[in-house]
Amino acid sequence: MSKAKLEYIWLDGYFPTQNMRSKTKVVDDFSGKLEDCPIWSFDGSSTKQAEGGNSDCLLKPVAIYPDPTRRNGFLVMTEVLNADGTPHESNGRATIDDDDNDFWFGFEQEYFIMDRKTLLPLGFPIGGYPAPQGMYYCSVGGRNTHGRSLVEEHADLCIDAGLNFEGINQEVASGQWEFQLFAKGAKKAGDEIWVARYLLDRLTEKFGYYIEYHPKPLGDTDWNGSGMHANFSNTILRTCGSREVYEKICEAFRPVVKEHIEVYGEFNDQRLTGKHETASINDFSYGVSDRGASIRIPIITVEKGWKGWLEDRRPASNADPYKVAGRIVKTVKSAKI
């Protein structure tokens, strides 16, 4: 009889920034299939998802991946249900209206690697600052590159887990990195970002680091913040061949700026200042190849005859990809085309 370790991963009830939680279920003779992952329960009173007198919440498996760090291990992404089987109010995944997977998402996840002893980004000296921004972006060599060993190992773990991992690069600030994931289906895209974050956070445990997802961890300084740019398309955007259609879809975002910002990450006002390749949180704009706009129309989309995708540059690095994708899907579907 073989034993398998199923790591159930879920999002807690902290607001507005949820945290990942996980626990291991050991089962006999597991098939490796999602349909054979049982619904499990947990103490919601310890995660701000229930009261102590009625504390059980349910974990419904929604995606499964091999766990590359464990023998006979699997990573099981779950969504939280109430005891009666209805979606918990903290369950952003259940709000996504994309059952036919028509929406494709490519998320660009930025983050800072922090030293657990100094509580500073890698490359930052105690009591001061490293050399100014300029030489860190996509740099090579020990003078400007910090944390590559962790980043490379994380990339391997994601690929070995079967995630549709598309790339890595060092970002503009010292100790700041990015990875990219693509998925067909808004829910699947969210699943994969959360599992990739889980693997990254767990990996830091052996390095003496932690990951900072705050969109502006260095405060009001001349250092870049971190985002989670959302590249998205549906059949219309991929095939319409019409600048007019693209502009109508972009204009659909203008009257719901507040609704988007509400789910685009805590402290995002500190990042969306109109500086450091961001648009102001108080404005809305779009433009071809404009990284200072709220929504960028990629030049490749234009060159292919207005067939491609859009990039919403506003989501913060700490945003929930489920809520970001769900809000984008809703707005695109509202466009009068």
pLDDT digits 0-9 by tens, 115-171: 999 999 999 999 989 999 999 999 999 999 999 999 999 999 999 999 999 999 999
Report pLDDT for 220. 85
Q: Given pLDDT bands bounded at 50, 70 and 90, which one contains residue 53? A: confident
Report pLDDT for 28. 96
- Of 187-191, 246-250, 288-292, 311-315, the one with minimum mean pLDDT is 288-292
Which structure tokens are listed for 133?
């921004």
Q: Is the pLDDT reported for residue 273 higher than 90?
A: yes
CA dist 157 and 196 (Å) reads: 9
**193-235 pLDDT per residue, tens:** 999 999 999 999 999 999 999 999 998 888 999 999 999 999 9
Beta strands 73-81 and 3-11 are parallel
Mean pLDDT of 82-111: 97
Report pLDDT for 93. 98
Q: Kindly list the distances between the CA atom of residue 175 and the CA atoms of 107, 139, 165, 179, 296, in Å, as whole numbers in the listed order.
A: 20, 11, 21, 14, 26
CA dist 331 and 177 (Å) reads: 30
Report pLDDT for 80. 98
Report pLDDT for 275. 87
Q: Is the pLDDT reported for residue 40 higher than 80?
A: yes
Report pLDDT for 276. 79
CA dist 113 and 119 (Å) reads: 10
CA dist 163 and 317 (Å) reads: 19
Report pLDDT for 337. 85
Report pLDDT for 82. 96
- Residue identified by tokens 């579907």 is 333
Q: Give the dihedral of Cα atoms 157, 158, 161, 163; nearest 10 deg.
A: -170
Q: What is the mean pLDDT of the chain?
A: 96
Provide long-range contacts, Cβ within 8 A and 24+ apart, for 143-152: 144/174, 145/170, 146/113, 146/121, 146/122, 146/174, 146/175, 147/113, 147/122, 147/175, 147/177, 147/209, 149/207, 150/113, 150/203, 150/204, 150/207, 150/209, 151/113, 151/177, 151/179
Report pLDDT for 52. 78
Output DSSP code: residue 110.
E
Tell me the domains of the chain and their CATH numbers: 3-91 (3.10.20.70), 104-334 (3.30.590.10)
Portion of the chain with pLDDT greater than 90, in percent: 94
**243-258 pLDDT per residue, tens:** 999 999 999 999 999 9
Q: Give the dihedral of Cα atoms 55, 56, 62, 65; nearest 10 deg.
A: 90
CA dist 321 and 196 (Å) reads: 12
Q: What angle do CA 5, 7, 8 make, to 5 degrees?
A: 135
**304-331 pLDDT per residue, tens:** 999 999 999 999 999 999 999 999 999 9
Exposed (0-12), middle (13-18) or buried (19+): which is 31, by Cβ within 10 Å? exposed
Mean pLDDT of 107-116: 98
Report pLDDT for 253. 98
